[in-house]
Amino acid sequence: MKSLVLKIGWAICIWVFLGASQIFCDTGTDIPRGKQTVLNLYVTAEQAHAMWLKNPDSVIIIDVRTPEEYVFTGHPLMGFNIPVAFMTHQFDISNRQYHMRPNPDFVQRVASRCNKNQTLLIMCRSGRRSAWAVNQLSQAGFQRTYNITDGFEGDIFNRPGHPEHGRRIVNGWKNADLPWTYMLDPEKIYTPSQ
């Protein structure tokens, strides 16, 4: 009897430990933590393009980068620009970036263009801001919202000493040679007066 109680006790301990590790550990995906979303819906740029091609009337690509990025770096031909944040002119020396200011109208702008039953494919430069945008949209009831994990420009090539080190040449919409443009469509650009 004592042996059975001991075995049951160990089984409970193992069960509790394994259950807790599922709660506190990674989600089991190979998506970097900064690109993960509460909805756990992910696509690459190439997969996003294929989804849009299959159903362009109900699959919407939203580019959440700043208007400056959308204009000067280029954007997906079919992508609507609705920034999740705006760049400020305050430079942060510690991380060598300008501070970003959240767009208070982001969710409202998406809701004015899309309905909650549509599939939304959210893109930024490399998949981090788009994860933040997906999380905001999920709280507003958009449950078919995917993070394009490699974004428009892709990830940084990390090989010190190589001439391409530090450049965004790994994956991404642009690097996959998917349709993109610098041309601006008045129906797809972000304007403060909308």
**Predicted confidence band of residue 43 (pLDDT cuts 50, 70, 90):** very high
Domain-located, residue 14: no
Domain-located, residue 140: yes
Average pLDDT over the chain, rounded to whole? 87
Q: Kindly give, in sequence order, each residue whose CB lies less than 8 Å from that of residue 29, ignoring residues fewer than 6 positions away.
A: 36, 40, 42
What is the average pLDDT across 64-71?
A: 97
What is the average pLDDT across 109-132?
A: 96
What does the pLDDT look like over 180-192, one tens digit per residue?
A: 999 999 999 999 8
Structure tokens at 57: 């009337």
Distance CA 128, CA 108 (A): 21
Domain-located, residue 19: no
What is the average pLDDT across 36-60?
A: 97
Domain-located, residue 8: no
Q: What is the pLDDT of residue 9?
A: 41
Q: Is the pLDDT of residue 74 over 90?
A: yes
Confirm if 61 and 118 have CB atoms less than 8 A apart: no
In the chain, the number of structural domains is: 1
Q: What is the pLDDT of residue 24?
A: 31
Q: Is the pLDDT of residue 14 over 80?
A: no
What is the average pLDDT across 24-30?
A: 50
What is the average pLDDT across 76-97?
A: 95
Domain-located, residue 17: no
Distance CA 5, CA 28 (A): 33
Distance CA 141, CA 116 (A): 7
CA 86 vs. chain centroid, Å, equals: 16
DSSP 41: -
- Reduced to 3 states (helix: H, G, I; strand: E, B; else coil), residue 47 is helix
How many CA atoms, within 13 angstroms, populate the side-chain half-sphere of residue 116?
9
Domain-located, residue 98: yes
What does the pLDDT look like over 128-169, one tens digit per residue?
A: 999 999 999 999 999 999 999 999 999 989 999 999 998 898
Q: What is the pLDDT of residue 19?
A: 38
The candidate with the shortest Cα–Cα distance to 188, out of 45, 63, 54, is: 63
Output 23 or 171, whichever has higher pLDDT.
Answer: 171
Q: Is the pLDDT of residue 16 over 50?
A: no
What does the pLDDT look like over 160-179, one tens digit per residue?
A: 999 999 889 889 999 999 99
Domain-located, residue 174: yes
One-letter identity of residue 17: F
Q: Supply the range of the domain harboring residue 152.
A: 29-181
Domain-located, residue 154: yes
Q: Is the pLDDT of residue 6 over 50?
A: no
| CATH number of domain containing 112 | 3.40.250.10
The residue count for the chain? 194
